Amino acid sequence: MKSSPRRERPESTAQSPHVQAKKSLGQNFLHDTGVLARIAALAQPAAGSGIIEIGPGTGNLTEYLLKLGAPLHTVERDASLVPILRARFGSELPIHLGDAAELDWPALLADPGLGPHPVVVGNLPYYAAIPILFATLEAKPARLVFMVQKEVAARLIGHASSPEYGQISVKIQMLADIRIGLRVGRGAFTPAPKVESAVIVLEPLESPRFSIKDWPRFSKLVTDGFAARRKTLVNSLLLSGHDPARVLAALDALGLDPRVRGEALDLKQWAGIAHQLAL
């Protein structure tokens, strides 16, 4: 997993209507033109395919995405922004009004106008980033390009035994290749958030790594294993109803210390536990 240490600083701003951001929806409008251009470049789809933008807001990123020349659909939760988008881009821009975490993503991605390999891009509200990420990832677009809080990005790319590593790290990395495309400072937004951001790029896998077949059961295993970070994996799973003798036998078969904690297991070891438990 590669990451870029470069942090983008505002050089110039995109011109857009003045709109009061709604704190309840986690709105922070991205205005830095350099950042907008780089995100659009990361979202460039394959020839013949289109883009779905989540949270276009006042349309600053939308403008750069349209310059790519690919079919573009947008998903916006705030109905009050639709007239602004219509005034700026006309009536032909498809706008799907709704919560991105609850949309029928397989149906949306299957729109013939978006071609065979659509890309999903967006500046996600920080409070809803993880639900939206899983909702879109499970639908398997060609690529996901999302702006998220810097700390969330660190969790998503975290590795075993690091402070950031947790159940989200394991689940996302089992389902996709992920990297940080760029880091973005607070000054790139209006209003400026209290935290810094990063743009993550995910490429979904056809199937989970290491031949995990029952994803719901594996996902629950990982959730249970991280439920009590200070406890051993055996004790954490015991609290969730797993048979400790079976877990110990699985650890022994893999040559792992029976006192190991969930955050010390890498992806392959988590898959090995699941296979030993016949999940």
Q: pLDDT for 179-207, tens place per residue?
A: 999 999 877 777 666 788 999 999 999 99
Distances (CA, A) of 17 to 52, 124, 190: 22, 20, 12
Q: Which two tokens stand for residue 58?
A: 């006042």
Q: Mark whether 234 and 106 lie in a shared domain.
A: no
Which of 251, 238, 241, 239 lies closest to 277, judged by CA?
A: 251
Say how many domains are in the chain: 2
No. of H helices and E strands in the chain?
Answer: 11, 10
Domain extent at residue 216: 211-276
Classify residue 217: in a domain, yes or no: yes
Q: For residue 15, how many C-alpha atoms fall within 13 Å in the half-sphere facing its CB?
A: 1
Classify residue 2: in a domain, yes or no: no
Cα separation of the two ends of the chain: 27
Q: Mark whether 175 and 265 lie in a shared domain.
A: no
Q: Mark whether 228 and 188 lie in a shared domain.
A: no
What integer pLDDT is reported at residue 210 of this predicted model? Answer: 96
What integer pLDDT is reported at residue 190 of this predicted model? Answer: 74
Q: Mark whether 123 and 253 lie in a shared domain.
A: no
Q: Which residues pair with 51 in a beta bridge?
A: 72, 119
Low-confidence stretches of the chain (pLDDT < 50) are 1-13, 15, 20-27
What integer pLDDT is reported at residue 195 of this predicted model? Answer: 80
Q: What does pTM read for this prediction?
A: 0.87
Classify residue 245: in a domain, yes or no: yes
What integer pLDDT is reported at residue 67 of this predicted model? Answer: 97
What integer pLDDT is reported at residue 24 of this predicted model? Answer: 39
Residue at which a domain ends, from 206, 234, 268: 206
Classify residue 182: in a domain, yes or no: yes
CATH of the domain at 41: 3.40.50.150
Residue at which a domain ends, from 186, 206, 226: 206
What integer pLDDT is reported at residue 46 of this predicted model? Answer: 97
